[in-house]
Amino acid sequence: MIIFDTQRFFVYLINPNGSTKFTPMYADNENLLMFWWYASTVRHLGIGGLRTSYAWPGRGGFHPLPEERFLAYKAAVAEYQSLKRFFARGQFFGIDEYTHVHTISDENAAVINLFNVTQEEVRKVVEVDISQVGLKSVESVDGAEGRKTDAGFLFEIQIPPMSPKLVKINV
């Protein structure tokens, strides 16, 4: 679902119980950490707004969304749309609090969202047992360097401070 608003850029969350939540994105950072966190944890995500104005509490009225942020959101929304089936219909597996796997078993494919919520760059080593995340095999990995193991695959990834990363398996 795409929802447009002429006054501000926002994410509109629809919870499984049918309740909704409006979340302005002024608090997000240039790495779009908040955007990808919502994409990973909310099954139905509505995205809307314009680059020309957004609300910034405490600063009186509306202010322009920086051009770089607008372009980053535009690219992120396009990527989200191309992967939406994983987030909306895929099965969710939490490797840990900051490593989320979204699998569509019928396609033997998955998207992994990784998050660094610290102020320091982190190097993360992730081993995935494919039988535990609904995959049959690993044919390709995009977004990280890795290798196959007996149970699945292992990859390493550098994540900048306060940033998300996406890894695509067989996508």
Q: What is the pLDDT of residues 59-94, one digit of tens each?
A: 555 556 677 877 888 888 899 999 999 999 999 999
Low-confidence ranges of the chain (pLDDT < 70): 1-27, 44-65
pLDDT at 5: 37
pLDDT at 7: 37
Which candidate, 125, 111, 113, 119, places its Cα nearest to that of 171?
A: 111
Q: Where are the domains of the chain?
A: 10-89, 91-169
pLDDT at 10: 45
Which CATH topology does 91-169 take? Immunoglobulin-like (2.60.40)
In the block, residue with structure tokens 């322009």: 64
pLDDT at 72: 85
Which candidate, 26, 106, 107, places its Cα nearest to that of 65?
A: 26
pLDDT at 90: 93
Q: Pull the structure tokens for residue 62.
A: 């509306």
In the block, residue with structure tokens 């959101």: 73
Q: Which long-range contacts (CB under 8 A, 24 or more apart) does 82-85 make?
A: 83/111, 83/166, 83/168, 83/171
> Across-strand partners of 122?
159
Residue 162 and residue 117 in contact, taking contact as beta carbons nearer than 8 Å? yes
pLDDT at 68: 80
Q: Cα separation of 46 and 76, whole Å?
A: 13
pLDDT at 87: 93
Strands of the chain (E only): list them.
Answer: 10-14, 20-24, 44-48, 54-55, 62-63, 91-96, 99-104, 109-116, 122-129, 141-142, 145-148, 152-159, 163-169
Residue 102 and residue 40 in contact, taking contact as beta carbons nearer than 8 Å? yes
pLDDT at 9: 44
Q: Cα separation of 37 and 104, whole Å?
A: 19
pLDDT at 59: 54
The per-residue pLDDT for range 2-14, each reduced to its tens digit, is 333 333 444 444 4
pLDDT at 24: 61
